[in-house]
Amino acid sequence: MSSSPGSAGVVTPQAYHFEQPLALQSGASIAGYTLMLETYGSLNADKSNAVLICHALNASHHVAGYYADQPKNIGWWDNMVGPGKAVDTDRFFVIGINNLGSCFGSTGPMHTNPATGKPYGAEFPVVTVEDWVQAQARVADRLGITQFAAVMGGSLGGMQALAWSMLFPERLRHCVVIASTARLSAQNIAFNDVARQAILTDPDFHGGDFYAHGVLPRNGLRVARMIGHITYLSDDDMAEKFGRDLRNGDYQFGYGVDFEIESYLRYQGDKFSDYFDANTYLLITKALDYFDPARQFGGDLSRALAHTKAKFLLASFTTDWRFSPERSREIVRALLSNKRTVSYAEIDAPHGHDAFLLDDARYLNLVAAYFNNIAREFA
């Protein structure tokens, strides 16, 4: 194997097709659908070492390793998952699944709606975190995994892990929720809605039917991403990395690039608008907004978590202002009120929300230690 030390090496995504319709929380259903997935490591004989990694807004099933024909296309959590890494693929069988409605191969808005013979566009049903979990459970069924050693995710991925603990309490021994929240705040929703409005009002969006028009709502998607990106970074980190540094030494007195931060954000926006689907952006931000497991319990998160059985690891980052540590503490308190076993770490990291994706020794060591303990359960 040609992998470098610590890398999951060459990986090959697989397409799993499901014929049975999936009933969605909205009341709609998806007829037949495909989910893309990748796996790393080997499933042990009693299928007790499986770890499901759930992805956030713009990520995919490509969690770790790289593709034979794209050696630079490295998985989004490659620093976390691999042989000898925190989630050690020498011991765990790790699964990444691209969520329904995303734009990396799983059935989504750009695919043909069998009912109309045309791409779904904005008619793709709004899916929820719970819908994703139901779809993921079918993957587990097919793989014969009745219980995960752990379900894990950061941000929106953490919401999926949390939903697993509530929807399928018997099917996971550990639930790892990083930089996440049990519900978005009004401010979180506000940022998501402005981003959606930028897309929805882009004339090239064509009501979601832009595929047929041969255009992409790049401007809207670009602005949406720029807004999102600001919320992923901390004020301090931005000050540290960019400050008021000028691109060309002096003010230009025009509307081109003056500051390095402008150049950086515009670049991020441009790049994103090249590869991300606008309808996917809409529906994933809606899944974020809608997640609120306490809602059916009168807002009581403790009651929502009452039937969970997993042990929990939660982690948050001090400078994350999108999903601040208080949002994790709220989950911790609700779990403790149910006498669940909870480990919680508040990590003093400068990188804001994005910290959950970055290298930070304390953070990675924390997860490594936790998974080391999990491995002892079946070793």
Selected from 121, 125, 157, 325, the binder of its own copies by CB under 8 A is: 125
Piece of 39-47, 72-80, 253-261, 334-342 that binds its own copies (CB under 8 A): 253-261
Say how far apart CA 177 and CA 45 lie, in whole Å. Answer: 27
67 beta partners: 70
Selected from 90, 235, 348, 359, the binder of its own copies by CB under 8 A is: 235
Q: Interface with its own copies includes 67 (CB under 8 A)?
A: no
- 61, 180, 353, 354: the active-site residue: 353
Say how far apart CA 86 and CA 96 lie, in whole Å. Answer: 16
Interaction residues for its own copies, span 127-166 (CB under 8 A): none
In 4-127, the DSSP E strands lie at 14-18, 22-23, 29-30, 33-40, 50-54, 66-67, 70-74, 81-82, 87-88, 93-97, 112-113, 118-119
Closer Cβ to its own copies, 47 or 247, answer by number:
247
Cβ 51 vs Cβ 93: under 8 Å: yes
Six-digit token string for 156: 């929106």
Give the neighbor-by-neighbor strand order of the sheet with 93-97: 14-18, 33-40, 93-97, 50-54, 148-154, 172-178, 311-317, 342-347
- Sign of the dihedral through C-alpha 354, 358, 362, 364: positive
Would you give the binding string for its own copies spanning residues 168-197, x where CB under 8 A is met?
A: ---------------xxxxx-xxx-xx-xx
Residue 166 backbone zone (phi > 0: left; psi -120 to 50: alpha; other: beta): alpha
Say how far apart CA 137 and CA 185 lie, in whole Å. Answer: 28
Closer Cβ to its own copies, 4 or 253, answer by number:
253
Whether 29 sits among the annotated catalytic residues: the reply is no
Q: How far is the CB of 60 from its own copies (least distance, A)?
A: 23
Closer Cβ to its own copies, 14 or 187, answer by number:
187
Q: Interface with its own copies includes 282 (CB under 8 A)?
A: yes
Q: Interface with its own copies includes 255 (CB under 8 A)?
A: yes
Whether 353 sits among the annotated catalytic residues: the reply is yes
Q: Interface with its own copies includes 259 (CB under 8 A)?
A: yes
Query: In whole angstroms, what separates CA 28 from the centre of its chain?
Result: 23
Q: Interface with its own copies includes 247 (CB under 8 A)?
A: no
Say how far apart CA 297 and CA 223 lie, in whole Å. Answer: 36
Q: How many residues bind its own copies (CB under 8 A)?
A: 55
Closer Cβ to its own copies, 49 or 273, answer by number:
273
- 102, 155, 324, 328: the active-site residue: 155
Q: Interface with its own copies includes 119 (CB under 8 A)?
A: no
* Cα separation of the two ends of the chain: 25
Six-digit token string for 35: 């989910």
3-state secondary structure at position 116? coil
Q: How far is the CB of 138 from its own copies (least distance, A)?
A: 22
Say how far apart CA 231 and CA 320 lie, in whole Å. Answer: 9
Q: How far is the CB of 191 from its own copies (least distance, A)?
A: 6
Closer Cβ to its own copies, 71 or 203, answer by number:
203
- 88, 320, 354, 360: the active-site residue: 320
Q: How far is the CB of 293 from its own copies (least distance, A)?
A: 12
C-beta atoms surrounding 213 within 10 Å: 11
Would you give the binding string for its own copies spanning residues 318-337, x where CB under 8 A is met?
A: ---x----------------
Six-digit token string for 168: 């399928």
Selected from 143, 166, 230, 368, the binder of its own copies by CB under 8 A is: 230
Pairing of strands 33-40, 87-88: unpaired
Interaction residues for its own copies, span 5-34 (CB under 8 A): 26-28
Q: How far is the CB of 260 from its own copies (least distance, A)?
A: 8
Closer Cβ to its own copies, 145 or 216, answer by number:
216
| Catalytic site positions | 155, 320, 353
Q: Applying CB under 8 A, which residues contact its own copies?
A: 26-28, 122, 125-126, 183-187, 189-191, 193-194, 196-198, 200-203, 219, 222-223, 226-227, 230, 233, 235, 238-239, 241-244, 251, 253-255, 258-259, 261-262, 265-266, 269, 282, 286, 289-290, 292, 295, 321
